[in-house]
Amino acid sequence: MRVAVIGTGHVGLVSAASLAALGHHVIGVDEDEEKIGWLRQGTAPFFEPGLQELIERGTATGHLRFEVDPAEAVAQAEVVFVCVGTPARASGEANLVAVERAARSIAPHLAALAVVVEKSTVPVGTAHRLRQVLMRERPDLNELAVVSNPEFLREGQAIEDAFHPDRILVGAQAQRGFDVMRQLYEPLIRDGNSLIETDIATAELSKHACNAFLALKISFANALARLSERAGADVTVVADVMGDDPRIGRAFLDAGLGYGGYCLPKDLQALEHMAHQLGYDFPLLLEVARINEEAVLAAVDKVRDALWNLEDKRVALLGLSFKPGTDDVRFSPALALAQKLLDQGAMVIGYDPQAGANAKSELPELEIASSVHEAIEGAHCMIVCTDWDEFRSLDLEKAMELLAYPIVVDGRNLFDPAEMKTLGFTYYGTGRAFDRPDH
Ligand code: UGA
């Protein structure tokens, strides 16, 4: 099929590249000329495992192209994906200006039977608005179908998720929308992946519900971590016990510095705002966000407990991205923590296998090291912020030699508290036994 994808961010680019790999002819469109320039040269504008190869392959076979102007891409497309950003406004409400702008830019070029797909995460009612804008611009399009097809890709595993989705969700008003989407995803459906058909509002709400519930699980684990620290319990074991119950499940119960990224924090806020606008207050969601902020504050407290005054202290952060496998630092708990330490007078030096440059442009006061050893050499405290595998296999005896003080705050519970104690570290895990070291 011929497909246009409007917006080449994390969602749009992965969607475009994976649809091209499934055999469709895809044109990715973005108003950012510099980005399109990179993409035309076959270069992914951000790090996502496997994406670069997929872009190279798609470009080489001619299945994947990139344009700034939507005219040609949209005119020939049977399916047009809208994958533009939906950032949060100060109130928490999703800012849908880019969605409306995208609608206006594609409207003049849409073919009579095109299906427009809302892929960005948006509040309930957005597909209806999208259709309204398109119909105002093109009253002749009486067969126009607008469908909701939320994406469930995880950064860092997005390519894997694109080819092996837990489910494909399509919300549509009429059968033609479902039929076209089934045709588009036929290679995945043939492989046994299920496609769920719903009305549009249900599809839109389902996406927000999933992200909000994931955030809720993480905050529940973090609240239990605070409690475990006070009770002398081990939150990792509590989570294992909970997770053994299939009704609960172990995933997303890892206590730590909390969730970040461009999706969970923003979608939680947007859902809370939308609920309020619909006349239903959902304060549980506000509490989830509060506990998430508390997770970073708890780590600051541990650093202060270990170092007393932070002025003239050098603190090394291991990991700056919001999670492993990505160079994305948007709403990264590591940067929130770095900012708080800087505010209290510490010198903060960070190392990340991928995200150093992005972290530096987000937080210029942060010093960036090019290796773990460089980061921790002479540091008074080392904080694990992101659970990259590289940190799991850290040579702890070498770390002991390099650090000025052998103090470790483990914001992702990567290390074994008993081993750390045996090695002679003053070790602060997150919600674990040995959390109150004598020193
Ligand atoms: C999230 C969802 O998981 C995807 O299903 C969804 O498609 C995506 O948002 C989106 O809406 O686009 P992502 O933002 O890539 O994906 O990140 P997650 O894997 O959900 O992780 C979010 C944060 O939670 C990370 O900072 C991670 O470190 C943290 N986390 C995760 C924990 O603190 N504890 C856990 O147990 C799990």
Tens of pLDDT along 128-173? Answer: 999 999 999 999 998 899 999 999 999 999 999 999 999 999 999 9
Q: What is the pLDDT averaged over residues 15-20?
A: 98
Query: What is the rounded CA–CA span in Å between residue 182 and residue 204?
Result: 18
Q: Is residue 272 within 6 Å of ligand 1 at its C-beta? A: no
Q: Pick from 194, 252, 190: which is nearest to 224 by CA?
A: 252
Residue nearest to atom 3 of ligand 1 (CA): 154
Amino acid letter, 405: Y
Q: What CA–CA distances, in Å, run from 33 to 29, 67, 73, 110, 269?
A: 10, 9, 16, 22, 31
Q: Is residue 264 within 6 Å of ligand 1 at its C-beta? A: yes
Taking phi first (over 0 means left), then psi (-120 to 50 degrees means alpha), and beta for anything else, what does residue 430 get?
beta
DSSP state of 94: B
Tens of pLDDT along 201-253? Answer: 999 999 999 999 999 999 999 999 999 999 999 999 999 999 999 999 999 99
- How confident is the model at residue 142, as a pLDDT? 87
Is 90 exceeded by the pLDDT of residue 63? yes
Is 70 exceeded by the pLDDT of residue 340? yes
Using most ligand atoms within 8 A of CB, pick from 151, 323, 327 the residue to mutate for ligand 1. Answer: 323
Is 90 exceeded by the pLDDT of residue 334? yes
Is 90 exceeded by the pLDDT of residue 436? no
Is 60 exceeded by the pLDDT of residue 434? no
- How confident is the model at residue 19, as a pLDDT? 98
Distance 261 CA to ligand 1 centre (A): 7
Residue nearest to atom 22 of ligand 1 (CA): 259
Is 70 exceeded by the pLDDT of residue 43? yes
Neighbouring residues of 179: CB distance < 8 A, sequence distance ≥ 6: none
Q: Is residue 3 within 6 Å of ligand 1 at its C-beta? A: no
Q: Is residue 258 within 6 Å of ligand 1 at its C-beta? A: yes
Q: Is residue 354 within 6 Å of ligand 1 at its C-beta? A: no
- Paired sense of beta strands 79-82 and 115-118, if any: parallel
Atom of ligand 1 nearest to the CA of 412: 33
Q: What is the pLDDT averaged over residues 323-346?
A: 97
Atom of ligand 1 nearest to the CA of 386: 28
Is 90 exceeded by the pLDDT of residue 8? yes
Q: Is residue 39 within 6 Å of ligand 1 at its C-beta? A: no
Using most ligand atoms within 8 A of CB, pick from 159, 164, 208, 264 the residue to mutate for ligand 1. Answer: 264
Residue 225, both tokens: 């971590």
Q: Is residue 254 within 6 Å of ligand 1 at its C-beta? A: yes
Residue with structure tokens 């919300």? 171
- Paired sense of beta strands 347-351 and 367-368, if any: parallel
Distance 144 CA to ligand 1 centre (A): 34
Residue nearest to atom 20 of ligand 1 (CA): 154
CB-CB contact of 120 with 7 (8 Å): yes
Tens of pLDDT along 244-261? Answer: 999 999 999 999 999 999
Distance 339 CA to ligand 1 centre (A): 22
Active-site residue list? 263
Tens of pLDDT along 302-324? Answer: 999 999 999 999 999 999 999 99
Tens of pLDDT along 393-420? Answer: 999 999 999 999 999 999 999 999 999 9
- How confident is the model at residue 438, as a pLDDT? 52
Tens of pLDDT along 168-201? Answer: 999 999 999 999 999 999 999 999 999 999 999 9
- How confident is the model at residue 435, as a pLDDT? 47
Using most ligand atoms within 8 A of CB, pick from 14, 161, 164, 214 the residue to mutate for ligand 1. Answer: 214
Query: What are the CB-based long-range contacts (under 8 Å, 24+) for 180-189?
Result: 180/78, 180/79, 180/115, 180/145, 180/147, 181/79, 181/115, 181/117, 181/147, 181/149, 183/1, 184/1, 184/3, 184/19, 184/24, 184/79, 185/22, 187/22, 187/23, 188/22, 188/163
Distance 259 CA to ligand 1 centre (A): 7
Residue nearest to atom 13 of ligand 1 (CA): 154
Distance 264 CA to ligand 1 centre (A): 6
- How confident is the model at residue 433, as a pLDDT? 67
Distance 322 CA to ligand 1 centre (A): 9
Residue nearest to atom 36 of ligand 1 (CA): 252
Query: 382 forms bridges with which residues in the sheet?
Result: 316, 408
Q: What is the pLDDT averaged over residues 262-269?
A: 94
Q: What is the largest CA-CA distance in the chain?
A: 76
Give me the chain's average pLDDT, please.
95
Band the pLDDT of 44: cuts 50, 70, 90. Answer: very high
- Paired sense of beta strands 195-198 and 314-318, if any: unpaired
